[in-house]
Structure 1
Amino acid sequence: MTGRVALVTGGAGGIGEATVRRLAAQGAHVVIADLDAARGTLLARECGGLFVRTDVAVVRDNERAAAQAVAEYGRLDIVVLNAGIAGRCGLSDFTPQRYRATMGTNLDGVVYGIHAGQPAAPVDHPDVPLVRHDPQDSTV
Structure 2
Amino acid sequence: MANFPEDLSYSKDHEWLRLDGDRATIGITDHAQRQLGDVVYVELPKEGERFDADEPFGSVESVKAVSEVCLPVAGTVLTVNASLTEEPEQINTDPYGDGWLLTIQVSGSTNALLTAAQYEEYLREGTSD
Shorter-chain TM band: under 0.3
More strand by share: 2
Calculate the TM-score normalised by the size of structure 2: 0.24
Larger Rg: 1
More helix by share: 1
